[in-house]
Structure 1
Amino acid sequence: MALPAHNVLILSAGRRVELVQAFQTELQARFPGAKVFATDLNPEMSAACQVADRAFQAPHVTDLDYHDFLLDLCRREGVGLVAPTIDTELLGLAQNRERFAAHGVALVISDEGLVSACRDKRVSSALFEEVGVDVPHIFDRDALEFPCFVKPYDGSRSVGAVLLPTAENLTATMLDDPKMMFLEYIDQTHKEYTVDAYYDRVGAMKCMVPRERLEVRDGEVNKGATRKHHVYDYLKDRLLKVKGARGCLTVQLFTKADGSRYAALEINPRFGGGFPLTYAAGANYPGWLIDEYLLGKEVENFDGWEADLLMLRYDAKVLVRGQA
C-alpha cells in the first residue's frame, strides 16, 4: 500500500537546520505525523540531516542517476513536496519537474528558461533590465575601467569573485577565462540587500521581504535586518510577475542609502541562506508551499511581515552520539 504523499524532502540540506525546522513546524500544523526528510552527499556530517525526521545519502547532483534516485525516494517514502537549496541542482530539477508531477510529486522549481537565465549572470542582467531594474555596467574585456569587479558568470556564494582596484591586479588568466565577467565596482557608499520573493503556482508574486545584509561570512549573511522602505517600494511592482517564477526566489542588489541608485546583481530561484530571518518576520513561505502543493489552497497577498527585525547569527552545534 502506497504511503500518503504528505511528506516533504529538503535537498542538499547541509547546514540548513532552521529551514528543516521551519518545514517541520508548518507540516505538523497541517499534517500531524507527516515527516520532513533531507538528502545530502554525506548526511552523517550534515547538521540539517541530523535534525530532519530521516536523512538519505544522495548521489552527486551531476550523476546520471540523480533524478531517478530522487523520484524513487519520493515514491517510496510518500514525499509530495521537494524543495531544492543549491544552484547546481536547479536546472536538472526544472527539466524533470513534469516527470515528478506525473507521479504526484511537486518539485518547487521555476521554469527551465528562468533557471537557465539565473545561472548565467549575463542573461539575468538582461532579465532585470526587461522588468526595469537597474544593474551594474558590464565592461567589454577590451574596454575595462578600474576599479572593477570580476566574477564567474555562473558562480555562487561569491566564489571566484575578485575586486580589481587597478589594471595591475588584472591577470592574463582572468582575461583568458571565458566564464569571467567584468562589472562596474559598487563602492562602499552602497548597502547590500537580499530580497526573498514568494511566487505561487501560476507565477504571481504574493510576498516580498528585503533583508539588509549587515555582515556576511563565507558568502552567507551573518547579521541582517528586514527593511520595508525604498528597496521594497522600488521592487514590489517591478518583480510582480517574473516569467516562469515559482516558489522562493532570492534577489541580490545594492542601493544607495537614499535610494538614488540601485544595482541588481543576480537572482537565485531557491531558498537563500538568510531565509530564516524572513520566516521569523512572519513571511511563512514553507507553510504556503504546503498549502499550495499539498492542500491545493490559494495563497493570498501578504505584506504584514515585521520590518526592522534584526538577526544576529551565531555558531551552534548538533550532537550525534555513537559515532565511531
Structure 2
Amino acid sequence: MSALSRIPVLISSAGRRGALVRAFQQAAGGATVVHGCDMQPELSSGCVLADHAHQVPRCTAPDFIDRIEEIVRQNGIRLIVPTIDTELAAYAAAADRLADAGAFVHVSPPGVIATVRDKMQTMQVLGAEGVPVPPSCSESALRADPDRLGGWPVFGKPVGGSASRGLGVYRALSDLPDGYPEAMMFQPVLNGPEYTINMFIDRNGALRCVVPHLRIQTRAGEVEKGRTTRRDDLRELAEGIHRALPGARGVLCFQVMDDAQRGPQVIEINARFGGGYPLAHHAGARFADWLVEEVSGQESRAHDDWRDGVTMLRYDDAVFTG
C-alpha cells in the first residue's frame, strides 16, 4: 500500500505502550501510519516509537477534545485508540464530533463507559445478568453492618480506580482508616489464580474472539508474565458480559479470580486495550488488524482461532533520543 493510502491511526495517551504502537504499525500488513499523543511526547516511549507524535493537555482538561480534533483534521486521522480509563468518558461523549472530523473513536457508548468506570455498578449489572461476581458493598454499608460480607478479612478498592491504585486488605473493622479520599467498595478476599480475558466485539455487536490468559506475575497492576489458556468456562463469562453490556464495541478486557471456594469471579472490566494485549496479539488474536479492517471498510477477518499455551515474558527495554 502506498504512503498516500495508508490509514492514519492515533494512539491516545501513548505513554509506555510501545508494544501497542508496534501492533498498529504492523496492522493490515503495514497499511497504517501511527501517531501518538501524550502530555510530554518527548518523554513517552510510545510517542518516540510512533511515526509521528503530538502534545496534548491532560485528558480531563476542557480543551483536550479540541486539541484531539485539531490533530485529527491536520493529519487525516481515521482511527483513535484510547488507552487509559480516565480518557474514555471524554472520548465517548465526543465520538460523534470526532466522526464528523473524519475519525472513528475506538470506544463504547457513554452508558457502557459509565458502567465499567464505576466498579460497584459493574458488579450490579453483571450480577443481574447472572455473571458470577463477588458480594460487594460500599464503605458506609460495611461500617453499618461489619459482617455483611460474611466475615473478615475484606478487600477494599476505589470505585473508580485503576492501575492497582488504593487497593488494600483489612483484617478487622478497626483496620479501616477514618476516611478515604475517594469512594470505596469492599468485597471478600478471593484466593486463587487470576486471569485476564481479552474480548473483541465487532462493529455489528457480535462477540468474535475471547482470549483468556493466566496472570503468572504482575507489576504495577499489569501482567508481566502470562500464558494464553483456552477454557470454556472463561469464555462463558465473556458471553455473559456481552449480554450484560449489549452496547459494548471493540476491545474489552476483564479480570477474573478463580477462587478456590466460589469458582471464577469477575472482579472488573476495562473497556479498552489492556496492558496484556500484546500476548493475545502474538497468539493470533490480532485485534489491531481487525479494527483497521473495520475503519477501512474491509470485511472483518476476526476469528477465535488463537494459539493456546503461548507465554509472554516481559522485560525492560529502552528508547533513546538525541
Structure 1 stretches of 5 or more lacking a match? none
1:133 aligns with 2:139: no
SS class of match (2:312) = strand
| Distance in structure 1 (CA, Å) of the matches to 2:242 and 2:116 | 17
Counterpart in 1 of 2:288? 286
- Preserved CA contact (<8 Å) 2:190 2:259: no
1:245 aligns with 2:248: yes
Counterpart in 2 of 1:124? 122
Counterpart in 2 of 1:152? 158
- AA at the equivalent of 2:288: P
Count of residue pairs the alignment pairs up:
310
- AA at the equivalent of 2:271: P
| Distance in structure 2 (CA, Å) of the matches to 1:232 and 1:316 | 32
Equivalent of residue 277 in structure 1, options 273, 276, 279: 279
| Distance in structure 2 (CA, Å) of the matches to 1:73 and 1:301 | 29
Equivalent of residue 52 in structure 2, options 48, 51, 54: 54
SS class of match (2:70) = helix
Superposition deviation, residue 66 in structure 1: 0.7
Superposition deviation, residue 129 in structure 1: 1.5
| Distance in structure 2 (CA, Å) of the matches to 1:74 and 1:261 | 46
SS class of match (1:315) = coil
| Distance in structure 1 (CA, Å) of the matches to 2:251 and 2:74 | 26
| Distance in structure 2 (CA, Å) of the matches to 1:256 and 1:108 | 33
| Distance in structure 2 (CA, Å) of the matches to 1:5 and 1:107 | 18
Superposition deviation, residue 301 in structure 1: 5.2
- Preserved CA contact (<8 Å) 1:11 1:83: yes
Deviations 1:83-138 (CA, angstroms, capped at 9, x unpaired)? 00000000010011111112221001001000000110011111211332111111
Counterpart in 1 of 2:183? 179
Deviations 1:220-249 (CA, angstroms, capped at 9, x unpaired)? 111111110244343253234432111110
Equivalent of residue 209 in structure 1, options 198, 208, 211: 211
- Preserved CA contact (<8 Å) 1:5 1:80: no
- Preserved CA contact (<8 Å) 1:195 1:252: yes
| Distance in structure 1 (CA, Å) of the matches to 2:285 and 2:125 | 26
Superposition deviation, residue 184 in structure 1: 1.3
SS class of match (1:69) = helix
| Distance in structure 1 (CA, Å) of the matches to 2:70 and 2:190 | 46
| Distance in structure 1 (CA, Å) of the matches to 2:182 and 2:42 | 37
| Distance in structure 2 (CA, Å) of the matches to 1:240 and 1:136 | 19
Which stretch shows the higher mean deviation, 75-84 or 136-145?
136-145
The residue correspondences of 1:1-324 to structure 2 (distance < 5 A) are: 6-27=7-28, 29=29, 31=31, 34-139=32-137, 140-141=141-142, 142-144=144-146, 145-174=151-180, 179-187=183-191, 190-241=192-243, 242-256=245-259, 261-293=263-295, 295-300=296-301, 302-321=303-322
Structure 2 stretches of 5 or more lacking a match? none
Which stretch shows the higher mean deviation, 62-71 or 140-149?
140-149
- AA at the equivalent of 1:16: R
| Distance in structure 2 (CA, Å) of the matches to 1:274 and 1:30 | 22
Deviations 1:19-66 (CA, angstroms, capped at 9, x unpaired)? 000100115x263xx410000111111111111001111111011111
- AA at the equivalent of 1:69: R
Backbone CA RMSD of aligned residues? 1.8
Superposition deviation, residue 308 in structure 1: 1.2
| Distance in structure 2 (CA, Å) of the matches to 1:219 and 1:49 | 22
**CA spacing shift, 1:98–1:152, aligned 2, 3 Å:** same
- AA at the equivalent of 1:184: P
**CA spacing shift, 1:299–1:88, aligned 2, 3 Å:** same
Superposition deviation, residue 260 in structure 1: 5.9
Deviations 1:278-297 (CA, angstroms, capped at 9, x unpaired)? 1000001000000001x213
| Distance in structure 1 (CA, Å) of the matches to 2:74 and 2:6 | 10
| Distance in structure 2 (CA, Å) of the matches to 1:167 and 1:204 | 45
SS class of match (1:238) = helix
- Preserved CA contact (<8 Å) 1:153 1:179: yes
Superposition deviation, residue 6 in structure 1: 2.0
**CA spacing shift, 1:226–1:265, aligned 2, 3 Å:** same
| Distance in structure 2 (CA, Å) of the matches to 1:238 and 1:116 | 18
